[in-house]
């Protein structure tokens, strides 16, 4: 059936609720409204307000309550309404949720999935288009993932909820309306990659592009344009931001000799810096040019009318391709 990215997450949540009575959903306006992006539409109607819970507007309270529920054996799935709203819950996430397994020498787990719509491209106001993934990837004890397409959105939300680890699940909000033909029963039967594996989307020989979330489609668009100019680019969808599948990246870079990392977050201190450092360590004698990064500028997220200049686009990626091929 033709399904949007948002619809695929909805179906993943629905099946998780059906399969495990310990799964509960929590968040602002996720019940009767179905969430601001309608990702949880109809779930409260079908499963009741004890399983799909409308919470007060208090992110610290949402995560703190979920943490207590997880300690009592439930599997909460929390929605943070927008990326910029997660900061009031930051202390709960990085100081409590992330550390309880280590603090108790493995005796206590916190199977919490925290869904966060992130990134720009939808013309939103301040605090509604941020990319805070590096904060959480830096925190030991958290898994951080981001799907880029409807099929992965369905599979990865199901995998995340099933884990005993806390998972930060970043959903690229500008991809919510992307569509794909999905057979959910087949996806359940056959599965796909493990949650921490990257995906090689297109194979190529001249350079590797690593992207995740909303920038994967942008990178694929750049690869299509490059092909018309005689350049063969290999595009990798990172999928997992912590841990990172460096083996897949290394295999590609050993073949192409060049790497470009693309993300919406500012380049300084972003995930691209960690990937560049690790690949330089692991592939030093195979690199034919320095690792390049294409990302947002080192500024607060700009007003909606200017965001097209801030976000990576095919032209900026192709400019990086020209630089690496000329090195």
CATH of the domain at 94: 3.40.50.970
How far is residue 107's CA from residue 300's CA, in Å, rounded to a whole number? 41
Of 168, 190, 212, the residue that ends a domain is 190
**What is d(CA 233, CA 297) in angstroms, rounded to the nearest whole number?**
24
Q: Say whether both 237 and 204 belong to one domain.
A: yes
> Residue 230: helix, strand or coil by DSSP?
coil
Q: Is 92 found in the same domain as 21?
A: yes
One domain for residues 262 and 289: yes
Choose, from 101, 127, 128, 263, the residue flagged as catalytic.
128
How many domains would you assign to the chain?
2
Give dist(CA 262, CA 102) in Å, integer.
Answer: 32
Do 131 and 239 reside in the same domain of the chain? no
Q: Which domain holds residue 286?
A: 199-326
Cβ–Cβ under 8 Å, residues 53 and 31? yes
164 shares a domain with 16: yes
Q: How many CA atoms lie within 13 A of 317 on its CB side?
A: 31
pLDDT tens digits for the chain (327 residues)? 899 999 999 999 999 999 999 999 999 999 999 999 999 999 999 999 999 999 999 999 999 999 999 999 999 999 999 999 999 999 999 999 999 999 999 999 999 999 999 999 999 988 999 999 999 999 999 999 999 999 999 999 999 999 999 999 999 999 999 999 999 999 988 877 999 999 999 999 999 999 999 999 999 999 999 999 999 999 999 999 999 999 999 999 999 999 999 999 999 999 999 999 999 999 999 999 999 999 999 999 999 999 999 999 999 999 999 999 998
Claim to verify: residue 219 and residue 158 sit in the same structural domain = no
Residue with tokens 């992307």: 178
Rounded Cα gap, residues 79 and 113, in angstroms: 9
Q: Based on the domain organization, do 205 and 174 belong to the same domain?
A: no
Point out the domain boundary residue: 141, 156, 190: 190
As a whole number of angstroms, the distance between CA 215 and CA 213 comes to: 6
Return the closest-CA partner of residue 73 out of 20, 22, 16: 22
DSSP state of 166: -
The answer on 170 and 213 residing in a single domain is no
CA–CA separation, 26 and 244 (whole Å) = 28
Please confirm, yes or no, whether 128 is among the known catalytic residues: yes
- What's the CATH code of the domain at 310? 3.40.50.920
As a whole number of angstroms, the distance between CA 34 and CA 43 comes to 7
Sign of CA dihedral 210, 213, 216, 218: negative
């Amino acid at each position: 059936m033709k399904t949007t990215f948002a619809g695929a997450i909805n179906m993943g949540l629905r099946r998780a609720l059906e399969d495990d009575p310990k799964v509960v959903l929590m968040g602002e306006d996720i019940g009767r409204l179905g969430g601001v992006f309608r990702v949880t539409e109809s779930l409260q109607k079908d499963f009741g307000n004890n399983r799909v819970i409308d919470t007060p507007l208090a992110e610290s309270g949402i995560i703190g309550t979920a943490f207590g529920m997880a300690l009592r054996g439930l599997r909460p799935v929390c929605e943070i309404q927008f990326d910029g709203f997660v900061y009031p819950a930051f202390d709960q996430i990085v100081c409590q949720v992330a550390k309880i397994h280590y603090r108790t020498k493995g005796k206590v787990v916190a199977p919490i999935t925290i869904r966060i719509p992130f990134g720009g491209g939808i013309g939103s106001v301040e605090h509604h288009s941020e990319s805070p993934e590096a904060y959480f990837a830096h925190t030991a004890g958290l898994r951080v993932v981001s799907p880029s397409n409807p099929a992965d959105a369905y599979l990865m939300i199901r995998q995340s909820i099933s884990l005993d680890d806390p998972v930060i699940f970043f959903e690229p909000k500008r991809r919510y309306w992307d569509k794909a033909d999905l057979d959910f029963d087949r996806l359940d039967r056959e599965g796909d990659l493990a949650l921490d594996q990257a995906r090689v989307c297109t194979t190529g020989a001249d350079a590797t592009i690593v992207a995740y979330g909303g920038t994967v489609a942008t990178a694929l668009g750049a690869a299509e344009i490059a092909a018309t100019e005689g350049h063969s680019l290999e595009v990798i969808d990172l999928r997992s931001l912590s841990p990172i599948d460096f083996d897949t990246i290394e295999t590609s870079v050993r073949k192409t000799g060049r790497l470009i990392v693309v993300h919406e977050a500012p380049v300084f201190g972003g995930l691209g810096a960690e990937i560049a450092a690790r690949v330089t360590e692991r592939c030093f004698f195979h690199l034919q040019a320095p690792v390049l990064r294409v990302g947002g500028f080192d500024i607060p997220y700009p007003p909606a009318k200017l965001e097209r200049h801030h976000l990576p686009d095919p032209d900026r990626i192709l400019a990086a391709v020209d630089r690496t091929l000329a090195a």
